[in-house]
Amino acid sequence: MAKSPAVLAPVSAVGASFLATAQIVGGMGVLFGRIVSRAVRFDFDYSELIKNMHKMGVKSLPIVVVTALFTGGIMIIQAAPIVERYGAQGLLGWAAGFTTLREIGPLLTALMLSGRVGANNTAELGTMVVTEQIDALRALSIDPISFLIVPRFIAMVTTIFLSTIFSDALALFGAAYAGYAVLGVEPQIFYNGIVSGLLDVGDVFHGLAKSIVFGVIMALASCQFGVATSGGAPGVGRAVNATVVVSAAGMFMLDYLVSFALG
* Mean pLDDT of the chain, nearest integer: 91
One DSSP character per residue, 179-201 reads HHHHH---HHHHHHHHHSSSS-H
How would residue 100 be classed by pLDDT, with cut points 50, 70 and 90?
A: very high
Write the pLDDT tens digit of every residue in 60-77.
999 999 999 999 999 999
Residue 4 confidence (pLDDT) above 80: no
Among 130-134, 136-140, 191-195, name the one with the lowest average pLDDT: 191-195
> Which tens digit of pLDDT belongs to each residue from 22-81?
888 899 999 999 999 999 999 999 999 999 999 999 999 999 999 999 999 999 999 988
- Quick one: average pLDDT of 251-263? 91
Q: What pLDDT was estimated at residue 16?
A: 86
φ, ψ dihedrals at 37, nearest 5°: -60, -35
**Confidence band for 262, pLDDT divided at 50, 70 and 90:** confident
CB 25 within 8 A of CB 130: no
**pLDDT value at 1 more than 60:** no
Mean pLDDT of 189-200: 86
Under DSSP, the state recorded for 44 is S
Nearest residue to 220 (alpha-carbon basis) of 22, 27, 4, 10: 27
At residue 89 the predicted structure's pLDDT band, cuts being 50, 70 and 90, is confident
- pLDDT for 232: 87
Strand, helix or coil at 146? helix
State the Cα–Cα distance between residues 251 and 249, nearest whole angstrom.
5
Convert the pLDDT of each residue in 223-253 to its tens digit. 999 999 988 889 999 999 999 999 999 999 9
H-only helix segments in the chain: 9-39, 46-56, 61-86, 92-99, 105-113, 119-130, 133-139, 144, 150-183, 187-195, 201-227, 232-262
CB atoms within 10 A of CB 156: 28
**Mean pLDDT of all residues in 96-109:** 93
Instruction: Please check the confidence at residue 5 and state whether its pLDDT lies above 90.
Output: no
Q: CA-CA-CA-CA torsion for 108, 113, 114, 116, nearest 10 degrees? A: 130
Over residues 167-184, the pLDDT tens digits come to 999 999 999 999 999 999
